[in-house]
Structure 1
Amino acid sequence: MNLSPCWVSVLMGAGIEAAHWSTLGARNATDGEIMTFARANEYVVLTHDLDFSAILAATQGRSPSVVQIRSENVNPAVNYAPVIEALRQMG
């Protein structure tokens, strides 16, 4: 849960369905469990954590899609525009 739940309202305000893991599953869930849940529910994982991309690469998975914020500042007020643009390009 490395991104703030504030991202949900920013994404929803842009017309993108969103949920924060804290409202979906166990706080102590592993990254693998989160990926499994996202795959089963056709979710995109938005993260600042390198682990999700590594899991996808290591398993040669095709889903779920992972969007990784590479900026040091993950405040949605600062980074919302490129994230929303990337998510819209996906689908």
Structure 2
Amino acid sequence: MKLLIDMNLSPRWSNVLATAGIDAVHWSTLGANNAPDSEIMAYARTNDYIVLTDDLDFSAILAVTHGEKPSVIQVRTNDVSPDVICKQIVAALNQMASELEAGALLTVDTNRTRLRVLPLQQKH
């Protein structure tokens, strides 16, 4: 499992996740700081990354395109520093690794973790 950390999260996430045994790279080391979300998603899909972000635009892209990949992990807390929520994210990654490898939207906040399998389907 490889994580691509979005620009809106600190580059510190890379080292913290590496300490937990997770391969992670911050977008700033791969592409332009002002790259559109669609470019980051395309890179992640092509290079088999899972996107870690706190930006809701990524889930919107998955919904509109009915995308099956890449998986997206949304951090939904006021404080997105690794010190606050990294343990919960690592636990969720370990618990839901097969779903994330297959294609999923994982939302993690301080109170709960929710998983939706891709492609996202509209509720009737």
- TM tier relative to shorter chain: over 0.9
Could you say which structure has the larger radius of gyration? Answer: 2
Moved over 3 A (4+): none
Cα distance, 1:78 vs. partner?
A: 0.8
Structure 2 Cα separation of the partners of residues 87 and 64 of structure 1:
15
Aligned mate of 1:90, from 82, 86, 97: 97
Could you tell me which residue of structure 2 aligns to residue 23 of structure 1?
A: 29
- Unaligned segments of structure 2, at least 5 residues: 1-6, 99-124
The 3-state SS of whatever aligns with 1:18 is strand
1:13 aligns with 2:19: yes
How many aligned positions are there? 91
Could you tell me which residue of structure 2 aligns to residue 41 of structure 1?
A: 47
Instruction: Name the structure where strand makes up a greater proportion of residues.
Output: 2
One-letter amino acid matched to 2:13: W
Structure 1 Cα separation of the partners of residues 48 and 68 of structure 2:
11
The 3-state SS of whatever aligns with 2:52 is strand
The 3-state SS of whatever aligns with 1:19 is strand
Once superposed, what is the RMSD of the aligned Cα atoms? 0.8
**Cα deviations by residue, 1:32-91 (Å, 9 ceiling, x for unpaired):** 000000000110000000000110111000100000000111010110111111222224
1:64 aligns with 2:66: no
Of structures 1 and 2, the one with the larger relative CO (CA 8 A, separation 6+) is 1
1:81 aligns with 2:51: no
Equivalent pairs: percent with the same residue?
58
Structure 1 Cα separation of the partners of residues 93 and 48 of structure 2:
14
One-letter amino acid matched to 2:62: L
